[in-house]
Amino acid sequence: MNEGKKAVFFDRDGTLNVNTGYLYKVEEFQWMEGAVEAIRYCNDRGWLAIVVTNQSGVARGYYAEEDVQRLHAWMNEELEKYGAHIDAFYYCPHHPKGSVPEYARECSCRKPAPGLVETACKEHGIDKSRSCLIGDKEWDVECAGRAGVKGILYPGGSLLEVLRRNMD
């Protein structure tokens, strides 16, 4: 275990990629400005780059967990072309008003609950005091606070520049 590792937790939709609403198809994926560079920036500094994302489309029956996993694998294949990678992906497939019974419930992993970040910290030996979560929604910042990491609201524009302003 890498005790005391620094990590940047990235929200996915609206932060790393354009939020098209319930994205699961590779052909609909578009990187946000500076997203690839932000991930490589983390990689180059030895910081873990970890995705934490709500994927209620699973609970709503729009797509399956396998679709989420396939998209995440594709993201890393694309990043590899730029000398970058995401170290881990954590997602919440639940929603209390979902139509798929096994996923239709309250949970501790749906942001703003801190479960995804807490699980990643345990599994990767992350030092919360040196880490942050960057996302485009207030619940991302709330999740960060509840998990004990710095929260950064991404307002759009270059993700790399927002990350550099807040982490250097």
Give the range of the structural domain holding residue 82, as residue numbers without chain letter: 34-45+54-130
CB neighbour list of residue 66: distance below 8 Å, 6 or more residues apart = none
CATH number of the domain within which 75 lies: 3.40.50.1000
Provide the token pair at 69: 């996993």
Residue 78: inside a domain, yes or no?
Answer: yes
Cis bond upstream, residue 101 (ω within 30):
no
Q: Is residue 69 part of a domain?
A: yes
What pLDDT score does 61 carry? 98
Residue 109, token pair as written in the block: 């992993």
Q: Is 11 inside any structural domain?
A: no
Matching residue, tokens 């005391």 = 4
Q: How many CB atoms neighbour CB 29 within 10 A?
A: 16
Question: Rounded CA gap, 122 and 88, in Å?
Answer: 13
Judge whether 6 lies within some domain.
no
Q: Which string of DSSP letters, residue by residue, matches 105-167?
A: S--SSSTTSSHHHHHHHHHHTB-GGG-EEEESSHHHHHHHHHHTSEEEE--SS-HHHHHHHHH
pLDDT the model gives residue 30: 98
The answer to the question of residue 75 being in a domain is yes
- Is the residue at 3 inside a domain? no
The series of mean pLDDT values per 10 residues for the chain, 168 residues long, is 81 98 97 98 98 98 98 98 98 97 97 98 97 98 98 98 92
Three-point CA angle 31, 139, 146, nearest 5°: 120
Residues known to be catalytic: 11, 13
User: Residue 1 has what pLDDT?
Assistant: 41
Domain tally, the chain: 1
Q: Could you tell me if 55 and 68 are in contact, meaning their C-beta atoms sit under 8 angstroms apart?
A: yes
